[in-house]
A and B are shown apart, each in its own frame.
Chain A
Amino acid sequence: MFRIYPKMLMFLAAATMLLMAVGQYAIWVYAPEEMTMGLVQKIFYFHLPLAWWSFVAFFGVCAASVLVLWTGKEKWDVLAGVLAEVGVLFSGLALVTGSIWGRAAWNTWWTWDPRLSTTLVMWFVYAGYLVLRAADAGGAKGARMRAVLGIVAFVDVPLVFLSARLWRSIHPAVLASRSGGLEPEMWTTVWINVVAWGALFAAVVLARYHGAGFARRVEAALVRIQEKTLQ
């Protein structure tokens, strides 16, 4: 049976609202406007947290998948599915915001860059993973099959990154240099938004996990009703 945490969800939702409000204030009021790119640079404050949290989600899918194979418990399979959903959503938004940024900064909607390509390939892999989940492929051994896919998908990530880096790159190495070319106020804004999007990430994961728990309770109740009716 799934344990649900309604109080924790309420707290997370409230904290997310507050942090998001602070994050938006920091983006539009506190952080200075970048001299070369102007207002478009502010996409960065959305793009970076979305990309980072999507990677956390995909790592979470792998970790939960390992736990499925180890313990055989259904809750880890459900958590892997929830994390994949949020990861695909966040990485999709990171790709869209990155593309808008790329158009303004590099005059191209898309370029073969390690980070962009890795994110796109991961988006494809995990979107496929979600399609397989929705199709209930695997039947009785479905949870184990999904777990294997969750692990294999994550194992591929460093190889995709390396291959794309060998191909070519024009992505700015924001964190490679000490200051990253950002003003201290900009850095503060980045971190506030990373935390705010992290809170949103946790709240959405927990809400979806609750949803899956309720769905299973309803299914179990329906089975009981059917059994009683047949008796």
Chain B
Amino acid sequence: MISSTLAIARKDLRLAFAGGQGPVQAVLLGLLLVFIFSLSAAPGERFSPQQAMAIFWLCSSFAVVLIFSLLFRFEEENDTATALLLSPLPVQGLWLGKTLAGLVLLLLCQVFFFPAALVFLGLDPGGNPGGLALMVLGVDLGLCVLGGLIGAMGHGQGAKDALLTIIVFPLQVPLLLGGIRIGVGLMQGVPLAALGDWFGLVLAFDAVFSGAALFLFPHVFRGE
């Protein structure tokens, strides 16, 4: 299953970057959000670490919706979804491949969001880049695991897939709270061990929703 998962992820990333587009829409939306939120502070006033971190994760959350909408749109063109379902590839491998491709695209978006947050929101990265990378990876994984499942539901829905966002954002709440709290802790120099509960929560989210997605994805993404 690993090789087919990687093949799906590779295919999606190639398609995403075909024509030099990539996740441009998600990056632009995120940058726009950071800029607009920066206007809410008076000149010379600094955002609190919690505010800056919350805005960063909000941008990431919006980016996830656009990324998975893009990844599943690929399968609508020429009805490649049916071709994938008829292939010997396990359907869970399809979800895993999409999740992996989404994770890469999200990390790429955050490469732009992070410096934007540094410049416009005064986000202080703190002195623990390893911890920060671990936090970003853990939270991003959860966002993409859920995004892969919900994105599959939006597949073939036309304009109705936008409705799914009203259920995605509340589901992400525990993960976003974890991302904000760990991020603020790391920025304020709190040791990793003291943030163990939050890391545990983020890992629990990743594990629970990975299990749920493995079980539920075949019910959502099937030929009909």
Contact = CB atoms under 8 A, between A and B. Distances in A.
B partners with A: yes
A162 B174 contact: yes
B83 interface: no
Given A141-B224, A159-B174, A163-B177, A153 B153 contact: no
Contacts, number: 90
B208 A159 contact: yes
B212 A155 contact: yes
Nearest to A152: B212
Nearest to B166: A128
A79 to B, nearest CB: 18
A131 B219 contact: no
A13 B38 CA distance: 56
A145 B222 CA distance: 11
B164 A132 contact: yes
Contacts of B161: 137
Please report whether the interface of chain B is mostly helix, strand, loop or mixed according to DSSP.
helix
A124 interface: yes
Interface string B202-224: 00110011001000100110101
A66 to B, nearest CB: 10
B109 to A, nearest CB: 24
B153 A131 contact: no
A129 B167 contact: yes
B201 A162 contact: yes
| Interface size range of chain B in the complex | 20 to 34
B97 to A, nearest CB: 19
Given A69-B219, A131-B163, A153 B171 contact: yes
Which among A152, A160, A164 has the greatest number of chain B C-beta atoms within 10 A? Answer: A152
A129 B178 CA distance: 24
Contacts of A152: 146, 149, 171, 209, 212, 216
Contacts of B208: 155, 159
B79 interface: no
A178 B76 CA distance: 58
Contacts of A153: 167, 171
A138 B222 CA distance: 12
Contacts of B68: none
A204 to B, nearest CB: 24
A166 interface: yes
A113 B127 CA distance: 31
Interface string B140-168: 00000010010001001100110110110
Given A137-B164, A141-B222, A148 B216 contact: yes
A223 to B, nearest CB: 21
A125 interface: yes
Instruction: List the 3 shortest-distance A-B pairs measured between CB atoms, nearest first.
Output: A163-B174, A128-B167, A128-B166
Given A69-B216, A148-B220, 14 more contacts: A121-B173, A124-B166, A132-B164, A132-B167, A137-B153, A140-B224, A144-B219, A149-B153, A159-B174, A160-B173, A160-B174, A162-B204, A166-B177, A167-B177
Interface of A: 69, 121, 124-125, 127-129, 131-132, 135, 137-141, 144-145, 147-149, 151-153, 155-156, 159-160, 162-164, 166-167
